[in-house]
Homo-oligomer: A and B are copies of this chain.
Amino acid sequence: MIVLLRRSLDGPELRAAAARLTTWAEERGARLRGFGPGWDACAELEWCDGDEEAGAAELRRDPAVEAVLTARRPCHHVAAAGREPLQVAVGPARFGGGQASAIAGPCSVEDLDSLLALARRLRKAGATALRGGAYKPRTSPYSFQGLGEPGLEILAEVSRRTGLPVVTEVLDPRDVARVAEHADVLQIGSRSMASTALLKEAGAAGRPVLLKRGMSATLSEFLFAAEYVARSGCEEILLCERGLRHFDPAVRNLLDLTAVPALKRETHLPVLVDPSHGTGDAALVPAMMAAAAAAGADGFLVEVHPRPACALSDPEQALDPAAFAAALHRAASVLVACGRRLARPEAADPAFAPS
């Protein structure tokens, strides 16, 4: 059992709460751990016997206690319990609350002109947000690592001119402030899902965070990673399934669409799907976008490149703009068949009007 104290408590209040909690625990034969270094205003009560849920209910009445977590409900900020499903709005994009949006763009930002031309085609095709990597997580140190800050500037300029908000990945906690300055949504990639330093820094940056599932993370671990982000102050978190590591060389990753309804039982956060990394194969992307829509996904993260074969990274998984338009059209029909709809670009925030 984990007891979270309100973070608004000052020193004396915290000490008083700790004393109350200690007495309470001792009276019930429970072992208290926490509050000191390495614990962040929370305590673990090792429960020996007696009814844990009843004890939790009692503790929840203490005014210093923000939440009491048990095995059945191990997260606080990202748990569905008693909350409406959240809609996250960024510029014209809407994720959740009956609407879904497509975030589209190239794997890597390469240059301003081609990104601008592409972004205009994406907007016309129905995308309501732009993705593109300025910092790229690459397996080999000798692969293209992204343009870095110049890439961020290109993204920001394209956003200004097209009205599409920008989603881009941050890899290093030291880059968070710089990325947050240029991007509308901070992306935490699959390989960083367990990097708690990065999760905390991104959560405190004042931007929505798109968090991708680790390539062999359980749903429980995925939600805990989101809890790290939320605990640092970010309420608008977009979860994104992107395929799991698996054994069949026929398909690069194994897209776990069951994660969509399974996550939605546990959390009020929107759940997106990345069918591009999720399959690693452009020919399979349209079917999996449609399937994601039917499974309940609140958005799609799709790699699109003007000439996929020439992309600097992941050439085999990018759609060309025409194929993207057709795939999004099909997914939109499926959304309607399921009683939801694709967010309309014209509903945009004036701040995101293309210049």
| Count of identical protomers in the assembly | 4
A279: interface (CB < 8 Å)? yes
Please report which residues of chain A, range 293-323, place their CB below 8 angstroms from some CB of chain B when the two chains form the complex: 293-296, 312
> How distant is the Cα of A37 from the Cα of B148 in the complex, in angstroms?
8
Please report which residues of chain A, range 224-252, place their CB below 8 angstroms from some CB of chain B when the two chains form the complex: 224, 227-228, 231, 244-251
A7: interface (CB < 8 Å)? no
Please report which residues of chain A, range 172-210, place their CB below 8 angstroms from some CB of chain B when the two chains form the complex: 172-174, 191-192, 194-198
A112: interface (CB < 8 Å)? no
- Using Cβ atoms and an 8 Å threshold, which residues of chain B touch A291? 257, 291-292, 294-295
Which of A40, A139, A221, A281: most chain B Cβ within 10 A?
A139
- CB closest residue in chain B, given A288: B258
Interface string of A319-332 (1 = CB under 8 A from B): 00000000000100
Known: A334-B337, A338-B334. A194 touches B137 (CB 8 A): yes
- CB closest residue in chain B, given A4: B142
Taking a contact as CB atoms under 8 Å apart, the answer to whether A287 and B294 are in contact is: yes
- CB closest residue in chain B, given A74: B140
Please report which residues of chain A, range 129-155, place their CB below 8 angstroms from some CB of chain B when the two chains form the complex: 136-148, 150-151
State which of B141, B173, B191, B279 has its C-beta within 8 Å of the C-beta of A40: B141
State which of B174, B251, B293 has its C-beta within 8 Å of the C-beta of A262: B251
Known: A142-B44, A256-B254, A258-B284. A330 touches B334 (CB 8 A): no
A171: interface (CB < 8 Å)? yes
- CB closest residue in chain B, given A138: B196
A270 CB, min distance to chain B CBs, angstroms: 15
Taking a contact as CB atoms under 8 Å apart, the answer to whether B148 and A38 are in contact is: yes
A282 CB, min distance to chain B CBs, angstroms: 12
Known: A42-B142, A291-B295. A219 touches B250 (CB 8 A): yes
A115: interface (CB < 8 Å)? no
A86: interface (CB < 8 Å)? no
Which of A147, A198, A294: most chain B Cβ within 10 A?
A294
A2: interface (CB < 8 Å)? yes
- Using Cβ atoms and an 8 Å threshold, which residues of chain B touch A2? 140, 142
A255: interface (CB < 8 Å)? yes
Taking a contact as CB atoms under 8 Å apart, the answer to whether A196 and B137 are in contact is: yes
- Using Cβ atoms and an 8 Å threshold, which residues of chain B touch A9? none
Please report which residues of chain A, range 334-348, place their CB below 8 angstroms from some CB of chain B when the two chains form the complex: 334, 336-338
A192 CB, min distance to chain B CBs, angstroms: 7
- Using Cβ atoms and an 8 Å threshold, which residues of chain B touch A258? 251, 254-255, 278-279, 284, 287-288
> How distant is the Cα of A136 from the Cα of B74 in the complex, in angstroms?
19
Q: Which residues of A contact B (CB under 8 A)?
A: 2, 4, 33-34, 37-40, 42, 44, 69, 74, 108, 136-148, 150-151, 171-174, 191-192, 194-198, 215-216, 218-221, 224, 227-228, 231, 244-251, 254-262, 265, 278-279, 281, 283-284, 287-288, 290-296, 312, 330, 333-334, 336-338
11 A-B pairs whose Cβ atoms sit less than 8 Å apart in the complex: A38-B145, A139-B224, A141-B231, A192-B195, A257-B291, A258-B284, A261-B284, A265-B283, A290-B338, A291-B292, A333-B338
